[in-house]
Structure 1
Amino acid sequence: MADTPDTPENGSAAGNGAAATPPQISQRVLAQFIRDMSFENVLAQKGAPENPQPEVSIQVNLDAKKRGEETYEVSTKLKVTSKAKGQEAVLFLMELDYAGVFEIKGVPQEQLHAYLLIECPRMTFPFVRRIVADTTRDGGFPQVNLEPIDFVALYRADMARRLQAQRESQVEAEVDTSEPKPSDA
């Protein structure tokens, strides 16, 4: 293989192409921890049908907040509910709030929100998955192995929901200001 000389045409930083190089992104996980967790074995407390077929539903919420100059805390909140198939009887309920503290450098400000809610939960997900599996198994149920979560789709759905809510509130504000108020005559 021949050496390619460093010229601006070959993508070298030697010429005017230096401004075109993207910033170097670095991310470090400073800490991970369970902020809050609960597991209710309703089956053992109240009783349920014998040998129920479990039907599991999972809700995921994400949250991020700034902690310092380049430090952010990202929280993954899961609610795992198992009901007896075809019935309303709850077998167990698990809630988990798992947080990670990240040092992030080089991400442009306009992309930071998406980065925090996509890349950071992706890094902590294997730990969340393990906690859910171990807790459900130790609670006397077949362990729940979470399927990989598409954090990009989750982020897009949340942004679409926020945009819709913003549009609805703008429409309500316009309606409130354009309708005359009845007088007390």
Structure 2
Amino acid sequence: MAEEQNGAAQAAPQVKMNTLSQFVRDLSFENVLAQRGTGGEVQPDVSVAVNLDAKKRSVEHQYEVSVKLNITSKDKTANEPLFVMEMDYVGVFHIEGVPDDQIHPFLLIECPRMIFPFIRRIVSDVTRDGGFPALNLENIDFMQLYRNEITRRQAEADGQKADA
């Protein structure tokens, strides 16, 4: 019995994952408050939208994962924008041993988790350097984001079938 379990463990492929590189593809920060020339006390209300994308690269076992953030901050009392930040952050990964039917969730859950600390640091630095208190992003539940997207796509597909 122990030999069978050992055989099964050896048959299962070992997952190998390396982060080859990561970089900011696009970044913009607009300090709307400073452009208006107003200041004083504000009560910020921050909204963060996250979009994920992944694609296979031409090199075998290499994938590119993009985390796109759209962060807006509005004054709670006046409902006027304070700042807008958009960033497209990319990680390039070498991944082996992940079954084909599991590569999509792996790319959109595990890879963003690996690069998120770097994204958090950039957002913090840019907002601070832009004249606001440093924005420290809460942890993002990439697994829940993935599940929500699958549910949304399934509902969309079901809605299209109902229309036909």
* Range into which the TM-score falls when normalised by the shorter chain: over 0.9
How far apart are residue 7 of structure 1 and its match? Answer: 4.4
CA distance in 2 between counterparts of 1:164 and 1:107 reads 28
Residue matched to 2:73 = 82
| 2:6 pairs with one of 7, 12, 28 | 12
Q: How does 1:120-139 map to 2 (within 5 A)?
A: 120-139=111-130
Deviations along 1:17-54, whole A, 9 cap, x unmatched?
467x4210000111100000000000000134521111
Find the residue that maps to 1:60 and give its secondary structure: strand
Deviations along 1:110-139, whole A, 9 cap, x unmatched?
111000000000000000000000000000
Larger strand fraction of residues: 2
Residue matched to 2:37 = 47
CA distance in 2 between counterparts of 1:153 and 1:91 reads 29
Residue type of the alignment partner of 2:96: K
Residue type of the alignment partner of 1:156: R
Deviations along 1:44-69, whole A, 9 cap, x unmatched?
00134521111111000100011132
**Counterpart check, 1:58 vs 2:48:** yes
Tell me which of the two structures has the higher relative contact order, counting C-alpha pairs closer than 8 angstroms and 6 or more residues apart.
Answer: 2
User: How many residues of Structure 1 are paired with residues of Structure 2 in the alignment?
Assistant: 163
User: Are the equivalent residues in 2 in contact too, given 1:48–1:89 (CA < 8 A)?
Assistant: no
Paired-residue identity, %: 55
How far apart are residue 101 of structure 1 and its match? Answer: 0.6
Q: CA 1:8 to 1:153, structure 2 compared with 1: closer, same or farther past 3 Å?
A: same
Residue type of the alignment partner of 1:66: K
- Give the TM-score of the pair, scaled to structure 1: 0.83
CA RMSD of the aligned region, Å? 1.6
- Structure 2: gaps (5+ residues): none
CA distance in 1 between counterparts of 2:107 and 2:6 reads 31
| 1:168 pairs with one of 150, 159, 163 | 159
Q: CA 1:27 to 1:47, structure 2 compared with 1: closer, same or farther past 3 Å?
A: same
**Counterpart check, 1:150 vs 2:141:** yes
Query: Which protein is bigger by CA-based radius of gyration?
Result: 1
Residue type of the alignment partner of 2:3: P
Residue type of the alignment partner of 1:12: N
Residue matched to 1:37 = 27
